[in-house]
Amino acid sequence: MSHRIKIVHISVQNIDLDLIGKATDFYQKDHDVIFTFKHYFSSDIDEDPLKMAELNEDLKDADFLFIRYLYVPRRFKRLDRVERLVKESGINTFMHTPNPEISDIYRHYFHGSDDDYSIFNILLENHALENEIEIVKHLGNLLADQNDEIVLPEMPESHGIYHAGEFPDAETYLESLDRVKPTVGILFRSYIKENYTLEHMDDLISALEERGLQTIPVYFPGKSRRGKESFNSENVVRRYFMGGTESRIDVMIVMSPFSLVINASDEPGLTSDVDCNFLKRLTDVPVIQAMSVGPEFLNYKDMKAGLKAKDVVSFVAWPEIDGQIISVPVVYTKGEKGKEQTMVSIPERIDHLARLAFNWASLRKKKPKDRKIALLVYQKRFDNGRLGAASGIDSMESVARILARLKEEGYSVGDVPSSGREMLDRMLSGVTNDFSNNTDEFIREHAAGSLTNEQYLKRFNSLSDYNKDHIREFWGEPPGNVCTCGSDMMMPGVIMGNVLVGIQPPRSWESNAERLYHDPILPPQHQYVAYYQWIRDVFKADAVIHLGTHGSLEWLPGKNTALSPYCYPDLVLDSLPNIYPYIIDNPGEGIQAKRRSEAVLIGHAAPTMVRSELYDSLEELDSLVHMYLDLESTMPGTDHSELLEQIKAKLEGTTLMEQMPLDLEDPKNSIPELEDRLEEIKDTLIPIGLHIFGDVPDAEETKNIVESCLRVSGPQCESLRDCIAAAKGITGLDYDVEPIEELCHELISRIAETNYSEDRIEQTVLDVIGVQSPRINEILRYVCRTLVPNIRRTDDEMNSLITALDGRYVIPGPPGEVSRGNMEALPTGRNIYGIDPETLPTPVSWKNGVRMADTMLERYVEENGSYPHSIGFIIWATDTMKTGGDDVAYILWLMGVRPVWMGNGHIKCLEVVPLEELKRPRIDVSVRITGLFRDSFPNLIKMIGDAVSLIADLEESEEENYLAANLRSEIVDQMEQGIDAKRARELSMVRVFGGMSGSYGAGVNHAIENKDWKDVNDLSQMYVTWGGCGFTADGREIRMEKTFIKKFSTVDVAIKNMPDRQMDVFTGDDVYGYLGGLSALAKANAGRDLKLYVGDGADPNRPKVRTATEECGHVMRAKILNPRYIEGLKKHGFQGVTELARTAEYMKGWDAVSGSIEDWMFDDFADMVMKEENMEWMNDENPFSLMEILEHLNECIDRGLWNADDDMIERLKEAYLEVESRLEEVTDR
């Protein structure tokens, strides 16, 4: 009688299932055993609930469960459910993983002996037919009482050298190398060697060697395991890439996914310490991550998206944590799932990688005096007032200091400027992107260089037809008309020895203003492409430094990751080593630069944050308020009407009266409310000045940084405020901040006086607080041991820049905003990495998001008497990375859905929050994502889509489930338009909208900046064109402009949360562009004023929500009009004025799209600008930006945005004439 055996077979990787079928057929010819294999892939089980249900049924009558290639268990998201089924059924189960530590965890599920277990592991080393036959024989022995001899294959070497189709002896090969020639080490997985042919490796090796590089191609297991010689990547690197204490290689290419470093470290969690990071400690060379993709690789013309979400994690996010330079795909896996697959080379991408590796190796080999460096600053538009403008950094002073350091290191830099001002004057005396007021003769004589049209055409004609046609469509035939003299393209900048201080070419949005209303994807203009061609081929730069946040290269059209040669960042930079100093508090946009321009991203500090405090009449008002409250406390019942009148008079002089009228009949309520409002302003953090690259803070600034770091709790330590409050016997978080803040300040000041010595901590705490507190002691120990030493390492920024220019490895580190408790972002100067998207939202961010959402709902209900039925929500990638997903949690909680986390922190699935727990209706949320969010978090787009699906079909009433009610209505509307029911449901389920792949931004900011708009209808059209693409849960993009308009123009409220105070509503144009743009859309299409909320998450435990008008007013009072802020800007001269010009532009933008700027804000801002001492400063330092400020203000009057009185108009006119005269002097000179 035949034995019938049912095997359930799950593979975590794609394998050729035909081999298993052939092995089974071969076996069954000679055995009275009938095997039935039921095959699954873990990805199908994870993504399809029906597959999970099918597996459940199959396991009920199965004899054996076989799971293979479980390299990383967390990648199999439903593994825990499978384990539960195994435990319940007791089925004999073998889980194959090549990592011994992981294998030990699952050994107990297998019922056989250790020898039987070992046999499976040996046979599974190679997915070959002969091995599969032996596996089937082994199953027959175990399950059908057969007695076949198992022929074990010879175990292949787990690591070694591969070259030219052979596996040479390592010692002989390594000894044959010329130690003088540049050499590249290549790491690829032994799994590839065992299961695929290696033609793609031959192609890569040949491309590298054709460029003069020696290669050491090494196969290895691909997983770093501590203490396991054959599994430890550190030992592999030491064995093949080190010759004693010297590195044999000049650059490393890694073709293995995930992290080499993390599991090789004895330290838990992520670490960037040199002692733990063997890539720094051993070879100390640039490490480049190459990718493999599948099932095919298409150019940008044919496929706009880059990697799939799971591939972003394995080939981008985790290698970034190793400090790798994220490069391009060089091979793709061809073949259907479950069939034989082959690895196919991508020749052009291999050539690109070879050139990149050669350039980094050459940089390392050259002596500093021979290296040529292009140091580029940014000039957003044709306006000298914006020269060098960057977020949070004094770029010109930074340039001067970088040049001085380069000279110290032996670079040829000529006459180094003594200051940023001198550097600026040299550039303004030459040629910038602003050609106005200069003759062609002057430009030709003073430009850094030029490129003839004939020279450019050699490069242009080498581009694909797609790129050539695209550029011509927008910019005409070469050379175009941007930065040209005749038929020559000019190269702005100043050459100093072997260093070019250049200016990134203009995007020139204004030249295509009309087109932008219909097409958001603008290719670079001719001179943009030519400038980088000139840097590479004429100036012959060995590396380029893009200084400051942010330039435009990384925002050019193309794939989000895994760039093709059709992608403009790749086409323009073209394998030139790219070093990019970037502000640490903008991780989203920084990671975009890292991934799309192969950058070493050196994090620099953000401006120092301090308490706003009060000033002028606000300070006087605060004094009167506290006098009144003191009298009420000490002399209750006494008549204080005279003091109340003084308070009212003073209040009327502050413009606070317009937002909070004082009710003298009810002072007991109104005065405390006024105190709270003043306290809110006083306690707001504001930046003081700008950062200078590599500049170590002085004693006072260090103290300010420490105080800002300790305001809120973070992963490293608790909030000092909260701990002092607790030590004083205060329970909860609702305490009077001011007396606690005074104690914080006194405590840090006392510790600073000891030069942050630990010796006096306990006594100092006792002296200042009055009691001992172990929690406060621990915080102060952290300050002395870690925080202050890290702050004092700010010169690591400059050191890391030099390290990168030396062609060495820059230690990686996380970004973050330190004033929100993210002190792991210090020290600065590390190679910034991103975040594992599959961990978002984190459990901590879930609590924060829920708290913020509840705060918003509380205010909305208080104002409107009911819950909002629908909400429009703006979500950014940068905020998501900063907070760990607060906004995602916020959205899910509004819908009444929450994540279920696995033990490793990854999200397994979502679950519905019962109405009894939610205690309110489920709210319909439509989300406007940024282009960066689209690129970085496809998994979160899917998560939001899955949440919609979860609650759409719940059996709940319309009063309980607003989303389901709206969905039913939308489906009916779609069907009435002739759309079939299935398609109508699919379209109606979409709740995530944004720009199409390859586009970035909200669009309206370009219209505002270019002054190319007549009314709100134009702004709405731009907003819709740039954001009217719907994203389905399965990752498809659908143009849905009508649906986009209908959803967002009818929402009850629109929301954008701000996670910290480093970035506020006047810091950039994206806030008004995205949130304010929704207001323009609603006004133009529904004729209504949309309520806008801005969430304040600077302290996640005490979130606040304000209307957009309130938030603009709050920032205006706390920061923009604050003398502390202005005095900080004055220290930076030219760029300080630039900051105020940006503020004026953003005020105009806010009012144009949403009417959020009240007249008093314009009035007070103009008064501040036209103060005699401020006018003198701005006119001396940067009359270009001062003129821009006045032009913005006059435009606001002309457009009716600002109802300025006659006196103000006259003063503006006089100021304009004064500045105009000054500009004539400057331009004449």
Q: What pLDDT, on a 0 to 100 scale, did the predictor assign at position 268?
A: 47
Considering its fold, how many domains does the chain have in total? 6
Shared domain check, 192 and 307: yes
The pLDDT tens digits of the residues spanning 235-250 come to 999 999 999 999 999 9
Shared domain check, 1048 and 1143: no
Shared domain check, 49 and 165: no
Q: What pLDDT, on a 0 to 100 scale, did the predictor assign at position 437?
A: 84
The pLDDT tens digits of the residues spanning 318-349 come to 899 999 999 999 999 888 877 778 899 999 99
* CB proximity list for 873: less than 8 A, separation 6 or greater: 887, 890, 891, 925, 926, 927, 928, 1054, 1055, 1056
* 273: CATH: 3.40.50.2300
Q: What pLDDT, on a 0 to 100 scale, did the predictor assign at position 182?
A: 97
* 113: CATH: 3.40.50
* % of the chain residues with pLDDT over 70: 98
Mean pLDDT confidence for 672-696:
95
Q: Assess if residue 743 is contained within a domain.
A: no
Shared domain check, 482 and 389: yes
| Alpha-carbon dihedral 1000, 1005, 1009, 1013, rounded to 10 degrees | 120
Q: Assess if residue 690 is contained within a domain.
A: no
Tokens 């900046």, residue?
Answer: 1009
CA gap 559, 1000 in Å, rounded: 12
Q: Assess if residue 58 is contained within a domain.
A: yes
Identity of the amino acid at 259? S
Residue 224: pLDDT band with limits 50, 70, 90: very low
Mean pLDDT confidence for 47-69:
92
Mean pLDDT confidence for 1159-1172:
97
Rounded to whole angstroms, what are the CA distances from 86 to 47, 91, 730?
20, 6, 51
Shared domain check, 1094 and 1182: no
Q: What pLDDT, on a 0 to 100 scale, did the predictor assign at position 226?
A: 45
Complete DSSP assignment for 1121-1184: T-HHHHHHHHTTHHHHHHHHHHHHHHHHHHHHHH----HHHHHHHHHHHTSHHHHHHHHHH-HH
Nearest to 577 by CA among 413, 374, 406: 374
pLDDT at 506 over 50: yes
pLDDT at 272 over 60: no
| Alpha-carbon dihedral 722, 725, 727, 728, rounded to 10 degrees | 180
Mean pLDDT confidence for 155-174:
91
Shared domain check, 399 and 351: no
Contact 173, 235 (CB under 8 A): no
Q: What pLDDT, on a 0 to 100 scale, did the predictor assign at position 227?
A: 45
Of 609, 625, 642, which residue is a domain's last? 609
Shared domain check, 217 and 173: yes
Mean pLDDT confidence for 972-977:
90
Residue 225: pLDDT band with limits 50, 70, 90: very low
CA gap 807, 871 in Å, rounded: 50
The pLDDT tens digits of the residues spanning 1097-1120 come to 999 999 999 999 999 999 999 999
Contact 962, 952 (CB under 8 A): no
Q: What pLDDT, on a 0 to 100 scale, did the predictor assign at position 519?
A: 82
Mean pLDDT confidence for 1181-1185:
97
The pLDDT tens digits of the residues spanning 775-791 come to 999 999 999 999 999 99
* CB proximity list for 1107: less than 8 A, separation 6 or greater: 1091, 1092, 1093, 1094, 1156
Q: Assess if residue 820 is contained within a domain.
A: no
Q: What pLDDT, on a 0 to 100 scale, did the predictor assign at position 273?
A: 63
Rounded to whole angstroms, what are the CA distances from 1140 to 395, 628, 1184?
16, 37, 12
Predicted model pTM: 0.93
Complete DSSP assignment for 211-277: TT-EEEEEEE-S---TT-GGG-HHHHHHHHHEETTEES-SEEEE-S-S-SSGGG-SSSS----TTT-
Of 609, 631, 656, which residue is a domain's last? 609
**SS3 sequence of 516-551:** HHCCCCCCCCHHHHHHHHHHHHCCCCCEEEECCCCC
Flag the least confident range among 125-129, 148-152, 568-572. 125-129
Q: What pLDDT, on a 0 to 100 scale, did the predictor assign at position 157?
A: 79
Q: What pLDDT, on a 0 to 100 scale, did the predictor assign at position 264?
A: 63
| Token representation of residue 490 | 């000019």
Shared domain check, 394 and 421: yes
| Exposure string over 775-788, b if 16+ CB within 10 A, otherwise e | bbbebbebbbeebb
Of 648, 683, 718, which residue is a domain's last? 683
Helix (H, G, I), strand (E, B) or coil at 377: strand
Nearest to 583 by CA among 563, 600, 570, 601: 601
Q: Assess if residue 510 is contained within a domain.
A: yes
**SS3 sequence of 842-904:** CHHHHHHHHHHHHHHHHHHHHHHCCCCCEEEEEECHHHHHHHCCHHHHHHHHHHCEEEEECCC
Q: Assess if residue 785 is contained within a domain.
A: no
Let me know if 493 is exposed, middle or buried by CB neighbors in 10 A (0-12, 13-18, 19+).
Answer: buried
Mean model confidence pLDDT for the chain: 93
CA gap 1171, 1152 in Å, rounded: 26
The pLDDT tens digits of the residues spanning 632-661 come to 888 887 878 889 889 888 888 787 876 766
Q: Assess if residue 700 is contained within a domain.
A: no
Mean pLDDT confidence for 150-164:
87
Pairing state between β 373-377 and 543-546: parallel
* CB proximity list for 1157: less than 8 A, separation 6 or greater: 1109, 1112, 1147, 1150, 1151, 1201, 1202
Shared domain check, 244 and 185: yes
Q: Assess if residue 184 is contained within a domain.
A: yes
The pLDDT tens digits of the residues spanning 1088-1102 come to 999 999 999 999 999
Q: What pLDDT, on a 0 to 100 scale, did the predictor assign at position 1229?
A: 60
**Alpha helix segments (H runs only) across 684-787:** 699-709, 720-727, 737-753, 761-769, 774-782
Mean pLDDT confidence for 1048-1075:
96
Flag the least confident range among 352-356, 437-441, 1056-1060. 437-441
Mean pLDDT confidence for 549-578:
95
Strand segments, DSSP code E, in 671-713 are: 685-687
Mean pLDDT confidence for 827-855:
95
Shared domain check, 426 and 564: yes
Shared domain check, 372 and 351: no
Contact 503, 548 (CB under 8 A): no
Q: What pLDDT, on a 0 to 100 scale, did the predictor assign at position 666?
A: 77
Residue 959: half-sphere exposure toward Cβ, Cα within 13 Å:
2
Tokens 């040949």, residue?
Answer: 206
Q: Can you name the residues that pair with 375 across neighbouring β-strands?
A: 501, 545
Residues in the chain: 1229
| Alpha-carbon dihedral 469, 473, 478, 480, rounded to 10 degrees | -160
Rg from Cα positions in the chain: 32
Residue-number span of the structural domain to which 318 is assigned: 160-365
Shared domain check, 1003 and 902: yes
pLDDT at 1 over 60: no
| Token representation of residue 1068 | 């950039």
